[in-house]
Structure 1
Amino acid sequence: MCGIFGVITKKESHYDNRFLTKSLKALAKLSETRGKDSSGLCTINHDKNSFEIVKGPIPANELLKRDRVEENLKNIFSKKNNDNYKLAFGHARLVTNGTQLEDANNQPVIKNDIICIHNGIVVNVDELWEEHPELVRADEIDTEVLPSLIRNELNKGFSLESSVCKTVNKVFGTASLAMTFADIEKFVLTTNNGSLYVLHNNKDIVFFASERAMLNGLLKKLQIESKIGEFELFQLKANQIFTVDLNSFKFEKKLFSEINDSKGDTEYLGNKRSIHVHGEKSRKKQISTVLDLNSIHLSSEAAKDQEMLIYPMDEIKKLKRCTTCILPETFPFIEFDEKGECNYCKNYKKKNQARPLDELKALVEPYRSKDGSPDCLVPFSGGRDSMYVMHIIKKELGLNPIAFTYDWGMVTDLARRNIARICGELGVENIIVAADIHWKRANIRKNIKAWLKKPDLGMIPLFMAGDKFFFYYADKVKKQTGIKLNIWGINHLENTDFKTGFGGLAPQFEKDKIYSLSVKNQLKLFGFVGKNLIKSPGYFNQSMLDSLGSFASRYVAPKKDYYHLFDYMQWDEKTIEDIIINDYKWETSIDTNSTWRIGDGTASFYNYVYTLVAGFSENDTFRSNQVREGMLTREDALNLVYEENRPRYNSLKWYLEIIGLDFRDTISEVNKMKRLF
């Protein structure tokens, strides 16, 4: 879930200091799109016969401006080193395992004389440590197990290539690695899902990065071809290894299947290099971006926290509900006829109908690549539907997809682990655009604090506005990759008209997509929001431009070559759950039996508010649509929502702490809201 970047030059290559420094800094800046929580850089120092490593909880672009790093780059790229090879590689981190405030958890990770940078998540990290009791774990970060296993294989006499492949094959999840060694004069790049790209001139220089767009950006920004001559830019495919002999500058690219379990052919240095690690601190106050959702309920304060959560089930069960679906009388713009059926049921047209798979195959055929290059972009949250979509695209349609994830700070570690599970299993590249997460979370905090002063159910979508740039960046990634086809996992059953309904917008029964909004309703929504901004001036904060941009991304920006899988296939909950759980070991949540929205950090909070104040949540609309489609009985739907609407303590606690709000203060204010029943 991070960015890897670097440059290697051959002995006597004579590239000037300025060019190499600018190249590395450009790659670092481009790699920040994948994470800004922390960063690190490793350079070789031939004078000291050492590797110099600097890392800390700051973005890569900032790290490379620090005096120590500037000094290291000046040393490695200076003319006095022209007779030596030059090596500098780094990491832009989106934190998953281990707080970024502990340098040991930031990358590069140094273990057993291996300097390792890792992009991805080792989902089975605990199991790997347990399977190898001879190895010693020192830190939280999952990366540490990888160099430990590689050195273990090297110590058994296996070749470097074989040791790396054996280790990566043990990983359940995703692993794209860049590595060098204190005792072996080689550099290694490898990946199990294709999230690594290499650019070289087959002569004296190699650049590498986590995405093709990063190397394309480097080519464009610095006119690289005029400096290095003709070049090749290629993707390191899933389960491939690329090795560079740093002495001869010979390199090899092999599939794992082409590597033998050979022994005794690794040449070790007689004079092992030392490794010096230096930490850089942030000049801004920071909090850890890691909070273990699965253990929150085990804390000493959990019992008192949970006592604060209100679930008025007895009163909710007394609400008048539609006799066909389960929507209650508190639902915006609801009307009942003499038989008790609601207007939402009367205007509903069934959409979730089975259609031939051949129809979908015919649709994607014009987009199919003939050379095996990526031909489909899948917006990928790690939720159940996007997981199933990826399965169908890869297994049934035979396309070569790229998974696109927009991480705006509310993608939970559970969702990230699920993304890693399927991308690693299917060998699918995952392009991540990571927002400035601290800034995004600050925006949510400011808007919730303003909302608590004058709470209105119609303003709740403002808390989630920041994620709508998903649409903008999906289009941008399509342009960067040259992919036209875009297949989403949104389905009509997820329609939640009540969210804008509480803002005064009547339902649009004939709308084409669930996110469609007429111009008239767009203007109404602006008017409603404007009135609430005046009521609570705290809304006038740094998030306003972000919210406006989000609105435009979702409702205004055109969408081309843009399809939804469930417009062409029937959505079936049991089938989806069976496949993703059994085939990919998809992880469910500890605090709910539902499998919907469990990777979205915001859902637990807004569903708690809706249920407490209005007696229903988006679970009610979802189950009502299933009833209308004939997928559930009304009785079963009611029983499900009574359980699914229970407060999710772990997720609520995670959400409020991660955005910097006190749990008890916030819940206390929410609990004071006037109920609609």
Structure 2
Amino acid sequence: MKKALYGLPEEVRFCTRCVISNQRPGSVVEFKNTGKEPKPTIKFDDEGVCSACRFAEIKENKIDWDLRKKELLELCDWHRSKDGSYDCVVPGSGGKDSVFTAHVLREQYGMNPLTVTWAPHIYTEVGWRNMQNWMRCGFDNMLFTPDAKVHRLLTRLAFENLCHPFQPFIIGQRLIGPRIAALYGIPLIFYGENQAEYGNDIEANDKPTMDPQFFMEEPDLDSLVLGGVLARELVDRYGISINDLNPYLPVQPDRLKKINAEMHYLSYYIKWDPQENYYYASEHCDFEANTMRTEGSYSKYSSIDDRIDPLHYFTTLAKFGIGRATYDAAQEIRNGKITREEGVSLVHRYDTEFPSKDFREITEYMGITEDRFWEVIDAARSPHLWEKVDGDWKLRHQVQNLSI
């Protein structure tokens, strides 16, 4: 067997229901983990079915969604403001899911959400239009744009050290909701779906709330890691001040405990279906799909607000052999939008496509050359997933139709 990097299983298996493989990395607490060994958490049972597909069965057959909606109503009744003040925080980009979440809470449950956004690295045209359409739909929004110099540096370091240019954004996006909630004394924060929807431990979906460890921790520059670099080194070597790092640091526990903050997943209460969320956002808030499919996939409506998105998925292809078409197809197979055979065909056609459209702009943003980009990408390829054939990198394993 070829050596597997990142703690991945050396034997590559594909789900017999969808197209995901056992190489899918699990979600980690980004500011606690260097990203060098993101252990896989997706599980396969004796029938070769992944945990995400098994949870899709549970959603369809075993959850009483009417009862869950009653629980949501009770939660909202407890927190709903009577004086017009904000009663919940909804973090989001203005994408289909955050638009859906905010609109449902306001129109169906009578809440008055404050929406908060961590700005993308570089807005796409359609992403900015959707952000504006979200606000025109009647929502107040706080758009937080981090120090460009610091964010560009952290993005470059995350790419070079972890082959994960999205890490600083993920950290900021995750922390901005609780940070604003603590600032304004709003104890209820709503996120969209739990990542357990996509393959993390199924049992995590039994809880409506997010583990507070994702947010609450005393900042410690000698153990905190950003972009694969200790925070202390960012201060001492790169000249970043502690104030510069503040947006990326965990929220101090006493600030969230003081307001009895709760972070809830809307997907616990309402059956989550990203494509249906798109239709809802389009109907109610003029959400626009892109005019062309996303590079590396066949979709036009998911994660279209940041120019760096396609490059991020190209890095997951390099590290885990899983590109954007695999993620999209697996999700839509589980939700009954396409068949597995269609998904396999789409993965073969688009998964390894290189995102060339915004490549120059993104490498300039990170301050790296094209040669340096490929040096990082090729070093990140795990030998058990990739081989060179006639000078070109090829995947050793791709999902197949079961009839083949």
* TM-score normalised by the chain length of structure 1: 0.41
User: 1:656, CA displacement in angstroms?
Assistant: 2.4
Matched, 1:437 2:143: no
Instruction: Say which of 14, 17, 22 aligns to 1:324.
Output: 17
- Cross-structure match for 1:464: 167
Match of 1:395 among 85, 107, 112: 107
**Corresponding residue for residue 610 of structure 1:** 316
- The alpha carbon displacement at 1:629 in A equals 6.4
SS at match of 1:430: strand
The 8 Å contact of residues 322 and 336 in structure 1, kept in 2 or not, is answered as yes
Quote the residue 1:350 is aligned against: 58
- 1:569 corresponds to: 270
Q: What does residue 478 of structure 1 align with?
A: 181
Give how far 1:447 is off: 3.7
Structure 1 residue 495 displacement after superposition: 4.1
Which residue of structure 2 aligns with residue 552 of structure 1? 250
What is the Cα deviation at residue 364 of structure 1? 0.4
Counterpart CA distance in 2 for 1:538 and 1:378 is 31
- Equivalent residues in 2 for 1:502-517, closer than 5 Å: 508=201, 510-511=203-204
Contact 1:394–1:401 at 8 Å: present in 2 too?
yes
Query: Counterparts in 2 of 1:224-373, with a 5 A limit?
Result: 320-328=13-21, 330-331=23-24, 332=40, 339-341=47-49, 350-351=58-59, 353=63, 355-356=65-66, 357-373=69-85
1:643-662 matches, within 5 Å, as 645=351, 646-662=353-369
Instruction: Give, as a single letter, the amino acid of the residue that structure 2 aligns with 1:481.
Output: Y
Task: Assess if the C-alpha contact under 8 Å between 1:348 and 1:509 holds in 2.
Answer: no
Q: 1:529 to 1:597 in 2, by over 3 A?
A: same
The residue number in structure 2 matching 1:597 is 303
Q: Distance in 2 between matches of 1:543 and 1:351?
A: 46
Q: Is the partner of 1:649 in helix, strand or coil?
A: coil
Offset, 1:425: 2.6
Alignment of 1:532-551 (within 5 A): 541=238, 550=248
Name the CA shift for 1:481/1:329 in 2 (closer, same or farther; >3 Å): closer
Distance across 1 between alignment mates of 2:108 and 2:188: 16
Q: Structure 2 vs 1, CA of residues 569 and 656 (structure 1 numbering), >3 Å: closer, same or farther? A: same
* Shift in alpha-carbon separation, 1:674–1:472, aligned structure 2, 3 A: closer
Answer yes or no: is 1:409 the counterpart of 2:107.
Answer: no
Give the Cα–Cα distance (whole angstroms) in 1 for the partners of residues 144 and 213 of structure 2.
29
Structure 1 residues 581, 625: closer, same or farther in 2, change over 3 A? closer
RCO (CA 8 Å, sep 6+): is it higher in 1 or 2? Answer: 2
Q: 2:137 aligns with which of 411, 416, 425?
A: 425
Match of 1:389, SS state, is helix
Gaps of at least 5 residues in structure 2 are: 1-11, 25-39, 386-395, 397-404
Q: 2:65 is aligned with what amino acid?
A: R
Residue by residue over 1:454-508, the C-alpha shift from the partner in whole angstroms, topping out at 9 and shown as x without a partner, is: xxxxx345741354234444234224434332222234466475xxxxxxxxxx5
Distance 2:313 2:155 in 1: 16
Is 1:588 aligned to 2:289, yes or no? yes
User: Are the aligned partners of 1:496 and 1:621 in contact in 2 as well (CA < 8 Å)?
Assistant: no
1:424 Cα shift? 1.1
Q: How many residues align?
A: 332
Separation in 2, partners of 1:329, 1:479: 38
DSSP-derived class of the 2:250 partner: helix
The 8 Å contact of residues 374 and 402 in structure 1, kept in 2 or not, is answered as: yes
Whether contact under 8 Å (2:310, 2:355) holds in the other structure is yes
Q: Is the 8 A contact 2:208 2:269 kept in 1?
A: no
Alpha-carbon shift at residue 441 of structure 1 (Å): 1.1
Distance 1:572 1:528, change over 3 A: same
Describe the shift of the 1:388–1:472 C-alpha distance in structure 2 as closer, same or farther (beyond 3 A): same
TM-score (norm. length: structure 2)? 0.65
Q: In the alignment, does 2:93 pair up with 1:385? A: no
Deviations 1:142-162 (A, max 9, x none): xxxxxxxxxxxxxxxxxxxxx
Taking a change above 3 Å as real, the CA distance of residues 515 and 640 of structure 1, as seen in their structure-2 partners, is farther
AA at the equivalent of 2:187: K
Conservation of the 8 A alpha-carbon contact between 1:404 and 1:432: yes
**In structure 1, distance between residues paired with 2:16 and 2:362:** 36
Partner of 2:137, secondary structure, is: helix
Equivalent-residue separation in structure 2 for 1:369 and 1:380 (angstroms): 21
Asked whether 1:579 is paired with 2:289, we answer no
Q: Distance in 2 between matches of 1:485 and 1:469?
A: 19
* 8 Å CA contact 1:597, 1:603 repeated in 2: yes
Aligned positions of 1:95-174 closer than 5 A: none
Paired AA for residue 265 in structure 2? H
Q: Deviations over 1:524-550 (max 9, x none)?
A: xx99979x769xx99964579778974
Q: Is the 8 A contact 2:97 2:277 kept in 1?
A: yes
CA gap 1:587/1:555 in 2 versus in 1, 3 angstroms:
farther
1:346 Cα deviation from its structure 2 partner: 7.0
SS of structure 2 residue aligned to 1:661: coil
Higher strand share: 1
Map 1:54-65; keep pairs closer than 5 Å: none
1:122-180 C-alpha deviation (Å, 9 max, x unpaired):
xxxxxxxxxxxxxxxxxxxxxxxxxxxxxxxxxxxxxxxxxxxxxxxxxxxxxxxxxxx
Q: After superposition, give the CA deviation of every residue in 1:248-303 in whole Å (9 maximum; x if it has no partner).
A: xxxxxxxxxxxxxxxxxxxxxxxxxxxxxxxxxxxxxxxxxxxxxxxxxxxxxxxx
Match of 1:98 in 2: none
Q: Is the contact between residue 418 and residue 586 of structure 1 (CA under 8 Å) also seen in structure 2?
A: yes
Q: CA deviation at 1:392?
A: 0.9
Residue correspondence of structure 1 range 628-647 to structure 2 within 5 A:
633-642=339-348, 645=351, 646-647=353-354
> Whose radius of gyration is greater, 1 or 2?
1
Answer yes or no: is the 8 Å Cα contact 1:657–1:663 preserved in 2: no
Q: What value does the CA root-mean-square deviation take over the aligned residues?
A: 4.4
Report the 3-state secondary structure (helix = DSSP H, G, I; strand = E; otherwise coil) of the residue aligned with 1:552.
Answer: coil
Structure 2 counterpart of 1:417, one-letter code:
R
* Counterpart amino acid of residue 323 in structure 1: T
The letter of the residue matching 2:288 is E
The answer for the alignment partner of 2:377 in structure 1 is 670
Q: Deviations over 1:2-50 (max 9, x none)?
A: xxxxxxxxxxxxxxxxxxxxxxxxxxxxxxxxxxxxxxxxxxxxxxxxx
Shift of 1:354: 6.1
Structure 1 residue 321: Cα displacement: 1.6
Q: Is the 8 A contact 1:367 1:485 kept in 2?
A: yes
Three-state SS of the structure 2 residue aligned to 1:422 is: helix
**Conserved 8 A contact 1:407-1:433:** yes
Report the 3-state secondary structure (helix = DSSP H, G, I; strand = E; otherwise coil) of the residue aligned with 2:85: coil
